[in-house]
Amino acid sequence: MERRELIEKFAVGVQYPDVSGFELLELLDIRSTIARQEHTLSEEERKKLEEADRRFLRNVKQIYAAISQIADLAEMRRRSSVAPSHWWWYLEEFVEAEKVTA
């Protein structure tokens, strides 16, 4: 899948946080693939990605709840050696931060 298609799939996917945890895990993988190509994004692609990231963050609780039903994110990060810069893999930290600020 080419970069533009990946961004589109991610942007559409984050609009539907009520899908299965498996589909949401796929979005995390897609976002990581996009991150590896981020230095080549056009201005238009960058804007679309930023908008999708904002939507992702607005739905972080729901996304985390669905994923945590099927997977242990900490274990998946460890096994895949996920970089800390790939913040979308650290959903539980966003959920915890929301609890503190609420």
Average pLDDT over residues 62-68: 95
- 27 burial type by CB count under 10 A (0-12 exposed, 13-18 middle, 19+ buried): buried
Q: Which residue has the tokens 């945590």?
A: 68
- Alpha-carbon distance 9 to 28, whole Å? 11
**pLDDT tens digits, 17-44:** 999 999 999 999 999 999 999 999 999 9
Provide the residue ranges of all domains of the chain, joining segments of one domain with +: 3-101
What pLDDT shows up at residue 16? 94
What pLDDT shows up at residue 102? 61
pLDDT at 100 over 80: no
What is this structure's pTM?
0.92
Average pLDDT over residues 71-98: 93
pLDDT at 67 over 80: yes
- Alpha-carbon distance 51 to 32, whole Å? 16
Helical spans, DSSP H, in 1-102 = 3-13, 21-36, 43-58, 60-68, 73-80, 91-101
